[in-house]
Amino acid sequence: MKAYITRPQTMASVPDHVIRIYVDKVAETITFEMGLASQQWPSDSHFDGKTFINNGKEYRLLAESVLSFSELKANRAWSDRQAWHLTYRWDQRDWSRPIPLYTVTLPTRMSAPEFSLTTYRNNFSVGLAVPFADSQFDDCVITANISPDVDRGDCEIYGLEENDIVRTSYSASSYVRELIVMPDVLISGVSECPANECVEFELQIVDADGAPLEKDAEIYLEAVNGYLPKSRVRTVNGAATAKFMALGLQPGDKARIKAGFKFFLGAADLEVNIT
């Protein structure tokens, strides 16, 4: 398991804070804690909670949330290419519930920052990226967003090796998900199909760099014009084939085949000219 820490500009307005993350690989849980700098605590407000020191400053532990891998797997939104995110609600001094990112953003096609800022008026604080539905706990990736000001935000991670904790130059965890962690699908095949005939096309699971993977996933298919006998296919050793039928189409028409994942549709497409 790896963890990536990013410093989005959208976190610039949050108070001086420290996120502490505890990974328990035996129990397969991740505990997230939020600490607020004691100097920012209202002087007339009583505090009986725990405190800790980070870089010589005292922080007050405001809230914690435990993410259980087994509970996520039992959720209906569990799928290939999914990410679970939590944000810290400064107005409520508590963590949000885990959100299946690609499920909740599918209807509106919002990006993660757009959805989080619209819903919570804050960026997502932490997350767990799950590449495949059959991924093991150690295959997943933790993400954390903290203040861009190095004097007003930090992240402590326990339970991982030091070389598995990456402090990136990316401006948001979405870049980590899409450019490093998440798989994609490639679709290829003939670019032409005779009217009312059938052609076969190929599907291949690839990593974020486009290199073929021998990991398997359920691929969701959709046709714009024409007909697909199967709307879902499962890859074997990362690859699969499917058929497209140009039913009811005429020479000169164009069709498009789209391929993606359950909650990330249309990741790739193939244009077919009808002859």
Residues 55-81: tens digit of each pLDDT: 999 999 999 999 999 999 999 999 999
Looking at 163, 181, 199, the residue that finishes a domain is 181
Q: Are residues 67 and 150 in the same domain?
A: yes
Q: Provide the H-helix boundaries in the chain.
A: 69-73, 101-105, 112-120, 173-176
pTM (global) more than 0.95: no
Domain that holds residue 18: 2-181
Enter the DSSP assignment of 98.
P
Of 181, 209, 231, which closes a domain?
181
Q: In terms of C-beta density within 10 A (0-12 exposed, 13-18 middle, 19 or more buried), how is residue 137 classed? A: buried
Q: Does one domain contain both 145 and 12?
A: yes
Give residue-wise pLDDT tens across range 32-50.
999 999 887 766 666 778 9
pLDDT of residue 85: 95
Q: What is the mean pLDDT of residues 230-242?
A: 97
Based on the fold, state whether residues 173 and 245 are members of the same structural domain. no
pLDDT band at 256 (very low <50, low <70, confident <90, very high): very high
* Residues 17 and 144 grouped into a single domain: yes
Q: What is the pLDDT of residue 108?
A: 86
Strand arrangement, sheet containing 141-145:
99-100, 82-86, 126-130, 141-145, 2-6, 165-167
- The answer on 55 and 160 residing in a single domain is yes
Given this model, what pLDDT does residue 145 score? 94
Judge if 193 and 167 occupy the same domain: no
Task: Report which of 58, 42, 101, 60 is spatially closest to residue 77, judged by C-alpha positions.
Answer: 101
Model confidence at 117: pLDDT above 90: no
Across the strands, what pairs with 209? none
Indicate if 82 and 201 belong to the same structural domain.
no
Position 63 scores a pLDDT of: 93
**6 and 141 in one domain?**
yes
Q: Six-digit token pair at 203?
A: 């599907």
For residues 39 and 99, membership in a common domain is answered with yes
**Final residue belonging to a domain, choices 181, 203, 235:** 181
Q: Which residues of 89-116 are buried (b: 16+ CB within 10 A; e: fewer)?
A: bbeeeebbebbbbbbbbeeeebebbebb
**Residue in the structure block whose two tokens are 């790896």:** 2
Whole-number pLDDT of residue 45: 62
Least confident among 40-44, 109-113, 191-195, 230-234: 40-44
CB count, 10 Å around CB of 55? Answer: 9
Count: domains in the chain: 2
Confidence of residue 118 (pLDDT cuts 50, 70, 90): confident
Question: Predicted confidence band at 100 (pLDDT cuts at 50, 70, 90)?
Answer: very high
